[in-house]
Amino acid sequence: MSQEAMSRHLPRAAELGLIGCHVCGQVCRAVDADGDIQACPRCGSTLHRRKPAAYTRTWALLIAGFLMYIPANVLPIMRTASLGDIDDNTILSGVVELWVKGSPGLAVIVFCASIMVPMLKFLALGTLLISCRSGSNWARRQRAKLYRLVELVGYWSMLDVFVVALLTALVRFGYFSLVEPLPGVVFFGLTVVLTMFASMCFDPRLIWDGKEDSDD
Amino acid sequence: MEGARQHIKPTPHRPRGGGICENQWMDLSPPDALDETATQPLLICEHCDTVHRRGPLAKGEVAECARCGAVLERCRGMGANALLALILTALVVFVQATLWPIVTLGLNGQYVDATLWDVIHTMWLDHSQVVAVLAALTLFVFPLCKIFMLGWLLLYARSGRRAPGFRRLMVALHHLGPWTMSEVFVLGALVSIVKAHLYFDVLPDPGIYAYAGLMLLITLFAGVDLTRLWDETRGESP
Ligand SMILES: [Zn+2]
Ligand SMILES: [Zn+2]
């Protein structure tokens, strides 16, 4: 018997009339059937069975993040000027430059942080939102793991933003060499923040809320 | 399930799997189980809402949810004193990382260095105020708040007491969550150095070493489960 099949019999807080506090973990008895406007006796935070409006909020933030992500990739994020030579870099060209000019290892890290992680967030959260809405019981443990991965690696996308900021502050040699941030970096920073908020608004408990297996 | 990773122990007559079943729950938890002051016998997985019975954890052990595999609770290997010492070290290192220049670039005998504040300041002047604000918050304000709040809480937690403002600070710490990004900045500095190295002379400054130290401390702290402070301290929490 698989672990997933076994854990099907474990009681869930909602079934027992309990609510776990999101903030401090306190186990509370749900006062009424809806139990929505109840404060945690220990930390004072509002108790929710599920995060409020998880679908709407996550979708909204995810779409907003994606809208920012397009200019973040299309527009250059950084301008390097040396001896009158002007060169605009996008996120991808920065990765390519790092690869070509001698640090493939670091190029892979930057590629993961700047391109893979944002894509992962859009795809993973999108998949989670759609599959949870339909109450699907497909690969629940894996989807739960996917969500935890998104939460864990999400903020590392800020890497490129910090690189641009540092280079701007450091490369100030007037006519000889100069680095300037370009609008792409602002959009990219906003993408990271919006997708971080999106993953926070999603409630992983929804993964387990739908129908159980029929061969019970 | 041995060693450092262990599932919550099931009740005796349930040979495998974590958690409890519905009919057992009633007689297993005494009426005061939900009382704020008692050590809680139950845990609810924040990732899937499964109710678990709390098992004893040895130092360094991690309890995992039997349904979804998320970490329910970890027992840190360090006491409040050790944690406080770590926090004080982190404060010293953090101040140095912020005040000292991070790296110096050289070109044709000209040298430029930058501290964290120079980084934030140049971004503000260069029409990227959004980035400047993000950097100031995630690299300075939030980490500093986190260090001070933790230090304050631990100062009292050493003797099992709750610091004035315990409740509010614990909630604030929870919400600070992933918004401190010093470790990302360290990696960013590394990437910047490699990129700059192609065109300039790069001289590391003390700030970069302070940041490396900070990163080590953050890694040490990553395994600390702060919600346990709720159970380990007693006293009024205004
Ligand atoms: Zn609470
Ligand atoms: Zn769980």
**In the prediction, which pLDDT does A212 show?**
67
Is residue B47 in some structural domain? yes
Question: Degrees (nearest 5) of the Cα angle B196, B199, B202?
Answer: 50
DSSP-derived 3-state class of residue A179: strand
Is residue B237 in some structural domain? no
**In the prediction, which pLDDT does A70 show?**
94
Q: Which of A44, A159, A168 sits opposite B188 (nearest CB)?
A: A159
**In the prediction, which pLDDT does A82 show?**
85
**In the prediction, which pLDDT does B27 show?**
36
**In the prediction, which pLDDT does B63 show?**
86
Helix (H) and strand (E) counts in chain A: 9, 8
Residue A118's closest CA among A164, A167, A72, A182? A72
The nearest CA of chain A is from the CA of B82 a distance in Å of 23
**In the prediction, which pLDDT does B40 show?**
61
Task: Give distance in angstroms: CA of A128 to centre of ligand 2.
Answer: 16
Domain final residue, candidates B40, B74, B108: B74
Do B88 and B65 fall within a single domain? no
Question: What is the sign of the dihedral through the CA atoms of B41, B45, B50 and B56?
Answer: negative
Q: In this prediction, does ipTM exceed 0.85?
A: yes
Residues of B in contact with A144 (CB under 8 A): 47-48, 68-70
Q: Please tell me the number of the ligand nearest to residue A20's CA.
A: 1
Do B187 and B218 fall within a single domain? yes
Q: Which tens digit of pLDDT belongs to each residue from A84-140?
A: 888 899 999 989 988 998 788 889 999 999 999 999 999 999 999 999 888 888 888
Domain final residue, candidates B74, B108, B123: B74
Domain final residue, candidates B51, B74, B97: B74
The nearest CA of chain B is from the CA of A131 a distance in Å of 15
Helix (H) and strand (E) counts in chain B: 9, 8
**In the prediction, which pLDDT does B73 show?**
84
Q: Which tens digit of pLDDT belongs to each residue from A6-46?
A: 666 788 888 888 888 888 888 888 876 554 578 888 888 88
Do B69 and B129 fall within a single domain? no
Question: What is the sign of the dihedral through the CA atoms of A43, B172, B231 and B158?
Answer: negative
pLDDT below 50 — which residues of chain B?
A: 1-38
Q: How confident is the prediction for chain A on average, in pLDDT?
A: 87
Do B201 and B122 fall within a single domain? yes
Indicate yes or no: pTM above 0.95: no
Q: Which domain holds residue B185?
A: 80-232
Give dist(CA A206, CA A144) in Å, integer: 10
- Domains with residue ranges and CATH for chain A: 1-49 (no CATH), 53-208 (1.20.140)
Q: Which residues contact B46 (CB under 8 A, 6 or more apart)?
A: A20, A22, A25, B70
**In the prediction, which pLDDT does A2 show?**
56
Do B127 and B60 fall within a single domain? no
Do B109 and B160 fall within a single domain? yes
**In the prediction, which pLDDT does B236 show?**
63
**In the prediction, which pLDDT does B39 show?**
52
Is residue B225 in some structural domain? yes
Q: Which residues contact A192 (CB under 8 A, 6 or more apart)?
A: A118, A154, A155, A157, A158, A161
Do B116 and B192 fall within a single domain? yes
Do B65 and B115 fall within a single domain? no
Strand partners, B201: B106
Do B46 and B97 fall within a single domain? no
Mean pLDDT for A187-206 is 94
Do B61 and B92 fall within a single domain? no
Do B143 and B45 fall within a single domain? no
Is residue B238 in some structural domain? no
**In the prediction, which pLDDT does A33 show?**
56
Do the Cβ atoms of B46 and A169 come within 8 Å?
no
**In the prediction, which pLDDT does A8 show?**
64
- In this structure, of A185-194, A197-206, B60-69, B178-187, the range with the lowest mean pLDDT score is B60-69
Do B110 and B225 fall within a single domain? yes
- The number of domains in chain B is 2
